[in-house]
Chain A
Amino acid sequence: MRLDPLRQLILAKLRELAREPEALFWIFVFPVLLALALGVAFRSAAPEPLPVAVEDGPEGAAIVAALEASRDLRPEVVPHGEAAERLRTGKVALVVVPGESWTYWFDPTRPDSRLARLAVDDALQRSAGRTDPVATVDRTLTERGSRYIDFLIPGLVGMNLMGTGMWGIGFYIVNARSKRLLKRLVATPMRRWQYLLAQIGGRLVFLVLEVGALVGFASLAFGVPLRGSIAALAAMCALGGMTFAGLGLLVASRARTIEGVSGLMNLVMLPMWILSGIFFSTSRFPDVVQPLVQALPLTAVIDGLRAVMLDGAGIAAVADEMMIAGAWCALSFLLALARFRWS
């Protein structure tokens, strides 16, 4: 078997990609910018005190004084008519209405509102003389690895593997097909599987750089940990990269125009953007859709990445995720090879 054609095909792909400034932006700069923006937006800061309103009345000032004793609350007196408006628009978490018995007016579907209900009641009961029968002590913990940014980075790595894998291969192939370059290639003795394999090989080379850039940035800027081994991370990323390269090949296997393949790409990727837990945990979806969610390749890749990066899992511990991704990879590559339109 002569491997020089494979080497030349991979080189050609890498050269073309490296000479495309727009592609480099989407592969390297965009994920880092996204991580930076989301990391700053969701940074873990000291919890803000909850704003609560006390309706103006004879006891108003006394209630505010009682609430101010709690570090978790920021009370203010509000004229009678305005309280409802403030609660409805989310400016306050709860309204205390003085009267015969004090009324807590709040929205139980809002977590901050429910929290305010507990804190306000606690503060008011204490100031009225309640004593706790059991003595308790608070001990707080904010750990690296359990913040939102730690959860987010493996999700972004997975999203990037999917996006660059599918676009990078889908556009490249459909472009070559529409320019009749694929037909020209099969007019030579080139082996067709080598062309398809070179697409995947070219992806793997770039993947090292793009994952390195994102994980390195996250580590330097936010201190996101890598608890597992680099080998396990590399294995998971390589498998993820190959899986989406295979899917990219499959999606691009018949399309003749860039417009056609763009539509198909979005159709395939949209469910995974939503369901695969890039930005929030997949456990939020109801049980009915869980089998679908767990079968998606991006879910498997992201779960595997999170296990390796955050829980320090080894390769054996993410075997299930690797099996799911590997099955998608093998199936899509073989199906693409069978269906591929060369002219």
Chain B
Amino acid sequence: MNGIAIRCRGVVKRYDAVVAVDGLDLEVAAGECFGLLGPNGAGKTTTVEILEGLIAPDAGSVELLGCTWRRDGRSLRERLGIQLQETQLAEKLSVVETIRLFRSFYRRGRTADEVLALVGLEEKRNAWVRKLSGGQRQRLSLACALVSDPEVLFLDEPTSGLDPQSRRRVWDVVEASRARGGTVMLTTHYMEEAARLCDRVAIVDHGRVIALGRPAELVASLGAEHVVEFAAAAPVDLASLRRIEGVRDVVEDGGSVRLTVAEVHRAVPALLSALDRAGIDLLRLATHHATLEDVFVALTGRHLREE
């Protein structure tokens, strides 16, 4: 299927004095996996729930699969799969009972056994939800979103706090859904997850999109591929660091300094000799490939996962 799966224009949502979503525009193509990336409180969940027709926006328009919630709400629900953040399913129903309950709401979709196999919960089929681990619960919640064999799958923080095995399962499901031509929209604050799964990401902060594009493009927009991070025993003159060849940006963040550089093998010796000349001891030095996290830091001066 070609065309636009999700489109919203000028979406605004206020809670009293707080503006949760501040004039947001998005366009997601059918068959695309799209990520909303941002720190906690950036307005990701509110945005997704507006798209899902669960929250009415104060302003703006939302269109899904060419339909609007006002006009085609019920038929639209049949075509979506939705996972909300932090839903606790009934503790005293079994896994398969829960899936059958959700399946009954849709006219067509997958069988309970198909969905169990998709999320790898066959062995827990008859276990009560209460007995499941956090990762298993999350996979059950994903299973409930998959029973309709959805054209658009919404996942809000699907891997937050999960064990590696469960996280990999979720990734497999997303990739399988995309392989079948389905559209996926997910929110996350894990950069590596967004980089791996998403065709495009929108970085969201304070209810606005501050960057949009393919993960690789966004990283490339930093103009440098590496990040050198160090901590020193005494204050460092940041301006002098900016003059080092190949350094694109310098940010001081807490006790450490981050340099965005084109080539590590040229920047690091220059940095060390500059510190040596100033007589400053180095406490810590690390380098890594630039990631979406660095894009966020470059744009906002803050980290994504600030507790």
Contact = CB atoms under 8 A, between A and B. Distances in A.
Interface stretch (A145-153, A187-195, A200-208, A248-256): A187-195
B104 A187 contact: no
Given A12-B97, A16-B92, A20-B92, A180 B87 contact: yes
A256 to B, nearest CB: 14
Nearest to B91: A16
A188 B106 contact: yes
18 contacts: A5-B104, A12-B93, A16-B92, A19-B92, A179-B87, A180-B88, A181-B87, A183-B54, A183-B84, A184-B87, A184-B144, A185-B105, A187-B80, A187-B84, A188-B77, A188-B82, A188-B106, A189-B77
B199 interface: no
B179 interface: no
Contact of A15 (B52, B77, B84, B97): B97
A343 B55 CA distance: 9
B90 interface: yes
B78 interface: yes
Contacts of B93: 12, 15-16
A19 B102 CA distance: 20
A12 to B, nearest CB: 5
A218 interface: no
A4 B88 CA distance: 23
Nearest to A189: B77
Contact of B90 (A2, A5, A16, A187): A16
A257 interface: no
A37 interface: no
Across the A-B interface, the 9 shortest Cβ-Cβ residue pairs: A179-B88, A189-B77, A8-B104, A188-B105, A19-B92, A187-B82, A190-B105, A184-B87, A5-B104
Contacts of A116: none
A186 interface: yes
Contacts of B125: none
Given A2-B107, A181-B88, 13 more contacts: A5-B104, A7-B104, A9-B101, A19-B92, A20-B92, A176-B90, A180-B87, A180-B88, A184-B82, A187-B77, A188-B102, A188-B105, A189-B77
Contacts of B97: 11-12, 15
Nearest to A176: B90
Contacts of A5: 104-105
A79 B274 CA distance: 114
A5 B107 CA distance: 10
Q: Which of the listed residues A7, A181, A184, A186 has the most CB atoms from chain B within 10 Å of its own CB?
A: A184
Contacts of A11: 97, 101
Interface in A290-343: 343
